[in-house]
Chain A
Amino acid sequence: MTDYTSDEMMTVAAARALKDGMTCFVGIGLPSAASNLARATHAPNLVLIYESGAIGAKPRRLPLSIGDGILADTADAVISVPEIFNYWLQPGRIDVGFLGAAQIDRYGNINTTVVGGYASPKVRLPGAGGAPEIAASCKEVIVIVRQSRRTFVEKVDFVTSVGYGDGPGSRERLGLPGKGPQQIITDLGVLTPDPRTREFIMTAIFPGVTEETVRERTGWDVAIAPYPRIVPPPSAAELAALRGFHADIKPV
């Protein structure tokens, strides 16, 4: 028995990946929860940047949208949307971009556009938003997504945001300035890219997670490191901070 959920473990693991003083481009949902948790615990000087134009936002509760008033009210600066993308994201000023995914493949390419064909999709997803340029231009990218066969697929139905394309050299050929995705943090553990092949490998797992579960919930023949790191469970302080945020918002 554990006294925390797999989602809480995932959010805590993502928060730990952020270092104090970093600048972080934050999407809504799990990325926002993780980066605000980091700021409330080990990284008080984390600079949160939201695509609505809020730079250095310090919300006291989790926002429901990237444009909530609390982000602008607590920001160091509020700028226009063309400016956030052109002056701040595009030149590679931002250390880490945090993305979610509806589908992701072994090279960290992300689909948030359609399931099925583009012209007559089975499921029409929200689309790109800021993600393609976050994936291209942030110095590095962290993906946070629950692990399942539906999500971790052999081939994404649509490339919305590029990870490592079709393997080594792809990012360079495409002229993508950032290093690309460095971690995929899931509710089972953490995948990191093999430095040679760029294929994502399960290199850390959460307490109690078995290799069998990892394979069952991955749609490609996933490699698991011989001795995966076991991620320490959430501390009391991390859980208290995370639950404090969630207490203030209504569940969706």
Chain B
Amino acid sequence: MAEIVSLTEAISRAVRDGDTVAMEGFTHLIPFAAGHEVIRQGRRDLTLIRMTPDLIYDQLIGAGCARKLIFSWGGNPGVGSLHRFRDAVEHGWPRPLEIEEHSHAGMANRYVAGASGLPFAVLRGYAGTGLVEQTDTIKPVTCPFTGETLMAVRALNPDVAIIHAQRADRAGNVQLWGITGVQKEAVLCSERSVVTVEEIVDSLQPLPGAIVLPSWTVSYVARARNGAHPSYAAGYSERDNDYYVAWDAIGRDREAFGKWLQEHVLAEGARV
């Protein structure tokens, strides 16, 4: 059963130095408040997994939390580069960043394999691309029925999944809707999980297209109102596109980033 705790307690109990951590949310429902709490608690040597690192991992990488990044598209959507990510890969600042790189289809299938309790997933992908040579997590496999050559991708089984959802009930059952990405798979393939929510309600009303993660699949639920900002929570907030545009100048400059980190993360408490 999920325990309902504060965000500070959820992160301190779930995330340890050296952990492999997947903070998911495909543009929608990105768990920024939880990511900032990981930075505040000074976690180090994390292997960070996300299909789209987005601003949240640009911030964690810039803050020096990450040793390795597993990802498939590392840009600022509709804007340009993730400059903290680039600085780490191109110049090793603030520390070198090992990368393990896939396509979206490959990453999605790796989560599915992990959630399914399988060692790998199979897809028709990657053939002829340079990605195959850069990682030992993509290997050709022969279909035992047709003889066709397909690609196998290794399962993801992180120590911790962290996601943001619209709401949970008092028993810790979690409900999310809108663009649901790979969050269900991320929670189910991970050893532990933290779900931050916009609100905790007496009972969950069924909604078309909504996913429910039963309480017993989740470790910790914490309230974090507007906890996806500058991403958004459908039904609660809109994506702050201006913030994504403004991040370009902040992320581009080490000093501006340091100032932002101090003012907007380290000096602030956890969102509740």
A residues with CB within 8 A of B: 28-29, 51-54, 63-69, 71-73, 78, 80-82, 85-86, 89-90, 113, 118, 120-133, 136-137, 158-162, 165, 170, 174-177, 249-250, 252
Contact = CB atoms under 8 A, between A and B. Distances in A.
A176 B128 contact: yes
A19 to B, nearest CB: 26
15 contacts: A52-B179, A65-B27, A67-B28, A67-B77, A69-B28, A81-B181, A85-B104, A90-B105, A123-B86, A124-B74, A126-B75, A126-B82, A128-B129, A136-B124, A175-B124
A159 B241 CA distance: 31
A199 to B, nearest CB: 17
In the A-B complex, the 4 residue pairs with the closest CB atoms = A67-B27, A126-B75, A129-B73, A65-B77
Interface in B232-259: 232, 234, 238-239, 241-242, 244-245
Contacts of B27: 52, 65-68
B102 A252 contact: no
Contacts, number: 180
A124 to B, nearest CB: 4
Contacts of A53: 26, 179-181
A132 B28 contact: no
B89 A124 contact: yes
A121 B89 contact: yes
Contact of B178 (A69, A81, A118): A69
Given A69-B232, A72-B178, A82-B185, A128 B131 contact: yes
Given A28-B77, A52-B179, A78-B209, A130 B129 contact: no
| Chain A facing B: main interface SS | loop
Interface in B149-164: 149
Contact of B179 (A67, A136, A174, A249): A67
Contact of B81 (A29, A126, A174, A175): A126
Interface of B is mostly: loop
A176 B179 CA distance: 29
A165 B125 CA distance: 15
A189 B215 CA distance: 56
Given A124-B85, A129-B73, A82 B130 contact: no
B184 interface: yes
B111 interface: yes
